[in-house]
Amino acid sequence: MKEVLKNYSGIIFLLGGIIIGSLIGIFAPDTVGYLKPLGDIFLNLLFVSVVPLVFFAVANSISQVEKEGKFGKIIFSMIFTFLLFIIIAALFTIAVVYFFPTEALPSTSPEKLDTGADVGWGNRIVSFFTVSEFTDLFSRKNMLALLIFAFLTGTAVRKAGETGRPFALFLTSGYEVMKELLLIVMKAAPIGLGAYFAYQVATVGPQLFGFYAKPLALYYVAGIVYFLLFFTLYAFFAKGKDGVQKFWKNNIYPSLTAISTCSSFATMPANLQAAARIGVPTAIANIVIPIGSTLHKNGSSMSSIIKIYVAFLIIGEDFFDPMNLLLALGITVFVSIVAGGIPNGGYIGEMLMISVYQLPVEAIPAVMILGTLVDPLATVLNSTGDTVAAMFVTKISGAKFTEPKDFAV
């Protein structure tokens, strides 16, 4: 019994915080305004800790992996895995909406959005990948630029040879220090996430029973099936029955964190911890999971298909026309990979959808509301998919699983 409490105490406390928060959100919604600051404080501490961790983890791992001559193979395996998982998720969702069609949603009043139309696409592309000031890199709003900078820094360290060795030691030391910092911050997770979950239940919960119940139910059922079935298959391919057992044993804490925060970024430390306990090599986990939190979105892939499907229901056109399906897959890949690294990337994906299909503007509010309401499960699929992706990359890159570690962040 003591061993069980030792191994699962973190999960038990976190689940307890979420349950208490949910009950408060349901039965005492007027009090959530006083609790939300606790959740905001915790998330802010988590975000400011994770940003430097991402830089140190990616830069340090790339500098080390290149020395072993495996860098190119790991990167290729990662790109292949991300694309494969995203496309499988999209095709699965298309099959679901084909075999389980829903009724058309009522159109909603047009809503004007700030789409950034006044900004040229050239400037927009530049802002996706770079920032103009060094200090702007260390913002969670510029994660794609930070990942690219960390990638280049790790490469430069390797090319600097012996003269770059002190800086390489700095990266290694910084990574270890930021791990310890995150362990300290995560001690407050049951309180912080419980408070934040109370706010979510009280504010978003009532909307679940409106006109969007059917497509929402379709997404949640399909998402849960995908989560249980396909993640199990991916884990089995990566490491057999042992991989399945270790993945699900260590995926509870990240899943609860994802549901509570609706943030892949905030779930990243829990994913890194799970990967270490599964036995994913540190060099692979520290590349695949941080990059995956921005560029690998199974849940967003599924929600993109659902939103396009609903938009076609609104205007009464055939979603299953072959050309429409091909365009839907293209938009989904863009939204899941490219827009995932952009602030408000979901809005950009929705604007792209409206533009490509020449849909009426009145479809925008419907897909926006759906995007908001599917966010909890989408985040679970987006974030925990990075852990099983790291397992998959380990397998196809030819790397070896290591002995599970008690902790790593």
Q: Which two tokens stand for residue 255?
A: 């899943």
How far apart are alpha carbons 102 and 253 in whole angstroms?
A: 33
Chain position carrying tokens 């109370």: 198
Residue given tokens 């193979």 in the structure block: 73
What's this model's pTM, rounded to 2 decimal places?
0.72
Report the pLDDT value the prediction gives residue 230, as an integer from 0 to 100.
97
The answer to whether the beta carbons of residues 256 and 11 sit under 8 Å apart is yes
Residue 77 in this model has a pLDDT that exceeds 50: yes
Please report the domains of the chain, with CATH numbers, ordered by start residue.
71-160+205-397 (1.10.3860.10)
Residues 6+ apart with CB under 8 A from 278: 239, 243, 246, 247, 250, 387, 391, 401, 404
**Where residue 358 falls among pLDDT bands split at 50, 70, 90?**
low
Residues 360-401 pLDDT 10s: 655 665 676 677 678 889 889 999 999 999 999 999 998 899
pLDDT of 169 over the 50 cut: yes
Least confident of 24-38, 65-79, 187-201, 238-252: 65-79
Q: Which long-range contacts (CB under 8 A, 24 or more apart) does 22-27 make?
A: 22/197, 22/198, 22/201, 24/198, 24/201, 24/202, 25/197, 25/198, 25/199, 25/200, 25/201, 25/202, 25/205, 26/201, 26/202, 26/205
**pLDDT value, residue 366:** 63
Helix 282-295, helix 32-67: angle, nearest 10:
130
Burial (0-12, 13-18, 19+ Cβ within 10 Å), 237: middle
If phi over 0 gives left and psi between -120 and 50 gives alpha, with beta otherwise, what is residue 266? Answer: alpha
pLDDT exceeds 80 at position 314: no
Cβ neighbours of residue 239 under 8 Å, at least 6 residues apart?
A: 246, 278, 279, 391, 394, 395, 401
Q: Name which residue leads in pLDDT, 383 or 189.
A: 383
Percent of the chain exceeding pLDDT 70 equals 77
**Distances 362 to 4, 110, 113, 358 between C-alpha atoms, Å:** 53, 5, 11, 12
What pLDDT was estimated at residue 336?
Answer: 77
Percent of the chain, pLDDT > 90? 27
Count of residues in the chain = 409
Q: What is the pLDDT of residue 382?
A: 92
28-44: b or e for each residue (b if 16 or more CB lie within 10 Å)?
ebeebeebbebbeebbe
Single-letter amino acid, residue 373 = L
Neighbours of 153 (CB within 10 A): 19
Please state, in angstroms and rounded to a whole number, the distance separating the CA atoms of residues 383 and 375: 12
Angle value at C-alpha 332, between 331 and 333, nearest 5 degrees: 95
- The amino acid sitting at 300 is S
User: How confident is the model over 71-79, as a mean pLDDT?
Assistant: 85
